[in-house]
Chain A
Amino acid sequence: KNQVEQSPQSLIILEGKNCTLQCNYTVSPFSNLRWYKQDTGRGPVSLTIMTFSENTKSNRRYTATLDADTKQSSLHITASQLSDSASYICVVSLINNAGNMLTFGGGTRLMVKP
């Protein structure tokens, strides 16, 4: 069964601190893995995408890693800002004849406090 598990479910950190979010998946056949940021009441927005051969990808203060052997990914946020408060969703993709089919993790809700 295709599953994506994220941890922790929620996290509170102080502004300026770093944090790391985890994602484990069992999706097969694997195409790629994305991290999305979803602000409350808004649609998700893609932060990073990594294919099987990539093991790290950065986007400003966000750095994602991927270990395709252990089927684990992490999202590291550096020098957090109040605007980082959101849900972060790990999404693993497989491709079939309907286009790309996504399996979503339950998300990690991050709150950055001043």
Chain B
Amino acid sequence: SQTIHQWPATLVQPVGSPLSLECTVEGTSNPNLYWYRQAAGRGLQLLFYSVGIGQISSEVPQNLSASRPQDRQFILSSKKLLLSDSGFYLCACSTGVGTDTQYFGPGTRLTVL
């Protein structure tokens, strides 16, 4: 079965600083990958999804970007963080088109000060 790793687990960054969050997946190949953000007390919001290397779709306009340099690696980035970027970031994977199960990583808690 697949395992999703995320790091770092927690991060405190000043406004205007860059960001790089990494997600890697083990136990499956060619997964669909997703980045979600969960604001405090709120539901999960889909930020990006990827169906393959170099293929990124953005769900909402924002200060963040995503990249997929390898099949099982998904990176969330920002050039300049905003206060509103604070939240809990979750990486998820599903194992292909039509397959419905999404598995979530442990998450990264980002605080922008």
Contact = CB atoms under 8 A, between A and B. Distances in A.
Interface of A: 4, 31-32, 41-46, 49, 89, 93, 95, 97-102, 104-107, 109
A41 B107 contact: yes
B106 A42 contact: yes
Interface in B94-110: 94, 96-102, 104-107, 109
A101 B46 CA distance: 9
B42 A98 contact: no
Contacts, number: 63
Interface residues of B, number: 27
Contacts of B98: 95, 99-100
Interface of B: 4, 32, 41-46, 49, 51, 57, 88, 90, 92, 94, 96-102, 104-107, 109
Contacts of A32: 100
Given A89-B43, A105-B43, A107-B43, A100 B102 contact: yes
A56 B99 CA distance: 21
A100 B106 CA distance: 20
A99 B43 contact: no
B106 A102 contact: no
B102 A104 contact: no
B100 A49 contact: yes
